[in-house]
């Protein structure tokens, strides 16, 4: 079935000309696109899990992690890294950058990738591994955001699971104490999962997760109770492994507050089935189209800038970034996720990282001010600080890099070589044009 589908898709691609876009039902990009219309390839039916064997899973590119996790858990395993939101697709995670609380052991999602099948702009289909003739595309595909080809099939690592996860929330009261404790826990290597939450510049929590065969109780954060609010109130907690993997989805971390879904009455109006990233994304995209929030802000005399970013900072300099963030941005809470030393670290061309501990800072909110600033003012400040500290930021949201700086950070000449080799005819957009110019 997969073979027939991919051959039909390749034939449709070869029949036309001009730049190509994908017709799909889900996207977790937070940057509006402009520019000329593209012919659309419908890839929505590439949504099957193909094979689960010991140590790996094979699935098509449009499989959501919600579906992938369900299939894997039925076999007693999970993908080694499961991004936080159910609607993220496997192909999207390897074409972009995916992370979660197992990343201290396994790296980013693309570090868990074993093989990838890519549809190129001329209709060819190539299979890429770390050591075959297309190894350059294997290591160049992550963070390419569909500008080199489309992931039809991905083979990725899995790890065995137990039925439950025991959580321990450690409270700390200063950045020094927080990052010192985080480093100690990382070096100890005992936890199956590690992430953190910064509620404000004086309130920090590290959450350690460990697989468990049994649990004295399990908490439910899929309806009336809100996971992130529990962190400050509980030292210990237990979740089923399924609910642990999706603990952030119900309230989109804490961003459900922006659609009033944390109010008990409105939460009941939403209903359990509509609490989650799928609903919130639809509301956000509707608001982006109609400009309801912008209208309210104009009436209130406010200027706003969306600050939706994930940035990876070397652990040794994480305290400096937090100090800058508290002083200049000050949007709370903030998610913290450590990234470990995967064997492949440093080999991925378009998302270069050193073989060292990094800390991901995730923050997703709107900066509102009485004063007017140039477009992208606060996001550009963040980009400059990340560069200064030797870090790197994900490109799923708005970026404001000058082109020469962007190329120095994200592959430069190596990207151009990949583009010339695998998409010489320009069927797919250019990375800078897509991610910064939003074409």
CB 432 within 8 A of CB 406: yes
**Mean pLDDT of the 134-152 span:** 97
Domain 2-161's class? alpha beta
Q: Would you kindly state where each structural domain of the chain is located, as residue ranges?
A: 2-161
**Mean pLDDT of the 141-146 span:** 97
Secondary structure of the chain in the HEC alphabet? CHHHHHHHHHHHHHHCCCCEEEECCCCCCECCCCCCCCEEEECCCCCCEEEEECCEEEEECCCEHHHHHHHHHHCCEEECCCCCCCCCEHHHHHHCCCCCCCHHHHCCHHHHEEEEEEECCCCCEEEECCCCCCHHHHHHCCCCCCCCCEEEEEEEEEEECCCEEEEEEEEECCHHHHHHHHHHHHHHCCCCEEEEEEEECCEEEEEEEEEECCCCCCCCCCCCCCHHHHCCCCCEEEEEHHHHHCCCCCCCCCHHHHHCCCCHHHHHHHCHHHCCHHHHHHHHHHHHHHCHHHHHHHHHCCEEEEEEEEEEEEHHHHHHHHHHHHHHCCCCCEEEEEECCCCCCCCCCCCCCCCCCEEEEEEEEEEEECCCCCCCHHHHHHHHHHHHCCCEECCCECCCCCHHHHHHHCCCHHHHHHHHHHCCCCCCCCHHHHHCCCC
Give the range among 184-198, 226-240, 330-344 with minimum mean pLDDT: 330-344
Looking at residue 241, its pLDDT comes to 99
Mean pLDDT of the chain: 93
Looking at residue 289, its pLDDT comes to 78
The residue among 239, 224, 236, 197 whose CA lies nearest residue 362 is 197
**Mean pLDDT of the 325-339 span:** 98
Res 97 pLDDT > 90 = yes
**Mean pLDDT of the 103-113 span:** 97
DSSP β-bridge partners for residue 89: 64
Output the CA–CA distances (angstroms, integers) from residue 76 to 111, 160, 167, 195, 321, in the order listed. 21, 6, 20, 23, 39
Looking at residue 30, its pLDDT comes to 55
CB 105 within 8 A of CB 340: yes
Confidence at 312, pLDDT banded by 50, 70, 90:
very high
Give the range among 9-18, 121-130, 283-292 with minimum mean pLDDT: 283-292
Residue 299: other Cβ atoms inside 10 A: 8
Read off φ and ψ for residue 156, nearest 5 degrees.
-135, 155
pTM, 2 dp: 0.94
Give the range among 31-40, 67-76, 341-350 with minimum mean pLDDT: 31-40
Rounded to whole angstroms, how far apart are CA atoms 114 and 120?
A: 19
Distance from CA of residue 345 to its chain's centroid?
A: 17
pLDDT-above-90 percentage for the chain:
82
The model's pLDDT over 273-310, given as tens digits with 9 standing for 90+, comes to 999 988 988 887 787 777 777 777 778 778 899 999 99
Res 26 pLDDT > 80 = no
Confidence at 184, pLDDT banded by 50, 70, 90:
very high
Res 346 pLDDT > 90 = no
Q: Is the preceding peptide bond at 350 cis, omega within 30 degrees of 0?
A: no
Res 189 pLDDT > 70 = yes
Looking at residue 200, its pLDDT comes to 97
Rounded to whole angstroms, how far apart are CA atoms 291 and 103?
A: 37
The model's pLDDT over 172-183, given as tens digits with 9 standing for 90+, comes to 999 999 999 999
Rounded to whole angstroms, how far apart are CA atoms 248 and 231?
A: 12
């Amino acid at each position: 079935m997969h073979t027939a589908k991919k051959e039909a898709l390749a034939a449709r691609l070869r029949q036309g000309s001009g730049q190509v876009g994908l017709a799909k039902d889900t996207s977790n990009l937070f940057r509006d696109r402009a520019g000329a219309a593209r012919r659309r390839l419908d890839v929505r039916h590439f949504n099957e899990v193909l094979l689960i064997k010991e140590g790996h899973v094979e699935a098509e590119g449009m499989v959501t992690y919600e579906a992938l996790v369900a299939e894997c858990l039925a076999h007693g395993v999970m993908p080694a890294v499961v991004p936080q939101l159910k609607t993220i697709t496997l192909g999207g995670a390897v074409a972009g950058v995916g992370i979660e609380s197992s990343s201290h052991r396994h790296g980013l999602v693309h570090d868990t990738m074993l093989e990838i099948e890519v549809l190129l702009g001329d209709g060819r289909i190539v299979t890429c591994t770390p050591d075959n003739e297309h190894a350059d595309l294997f290591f160049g595909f992550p963070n390419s955001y569909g500008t080199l080809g489309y992931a039809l099939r991905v083979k990725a690592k899995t790890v065995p699971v137990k039925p439950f996860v025991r959580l321990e929330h450690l409270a700390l009261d200063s950045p020094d104490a927080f990052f010192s404790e985080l480093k100690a826990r990382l070096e100890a290597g005992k936890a199956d999962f590690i992430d953190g939450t910064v509620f404000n510049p004086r309130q920090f929590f590290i959450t350690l997760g460990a697989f468990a065969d049994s649990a004295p109780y399990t908490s439910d954060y899929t309806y009336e109770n809100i996971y992130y609010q529990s962190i400050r109130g509980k030292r210990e907690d237990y979740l089923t492994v399924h609910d642990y993997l999706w603990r952030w989805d119900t309230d989109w971390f804490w961003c459900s507050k922006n659609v009033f879904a944390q109010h008990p009455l409105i939460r009941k109006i939403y209903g359990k089935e509509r609490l989650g990233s799928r609903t919130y994304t639809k509301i956000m995209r509707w608001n982006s189209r109609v400009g309801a929030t912008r209208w309210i802000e104009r009436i209130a005399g406010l200027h706003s800038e969306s600050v939706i970013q994930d940035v990876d900072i070397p652990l040794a300099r994480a305290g400096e970034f937090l100090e800058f963030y508290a002083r200049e941005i000050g949007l709370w809470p903030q998610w913290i996720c450590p990234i470990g030393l995967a064997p492949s670290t440093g080999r991925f061309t378009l998302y270069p990282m050193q073989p060292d501990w990094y800390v991901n800072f995730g923050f997703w909110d709107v900066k509102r001010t009485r004063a007017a600033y140039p477009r992208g003012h606060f996001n550009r400040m963040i980009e400059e600080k990340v560069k200064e500290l030797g870090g790197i930021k994900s490109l799923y949201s708005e970026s404001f890099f000058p082109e020469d700086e962007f190329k120095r950070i994200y592959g430069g000449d190596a990207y151009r070589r990949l583009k010339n080799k695998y998409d010489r005819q320009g069927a797919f957009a250019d990375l800078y044009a897509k991610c910064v110019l939003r074409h």
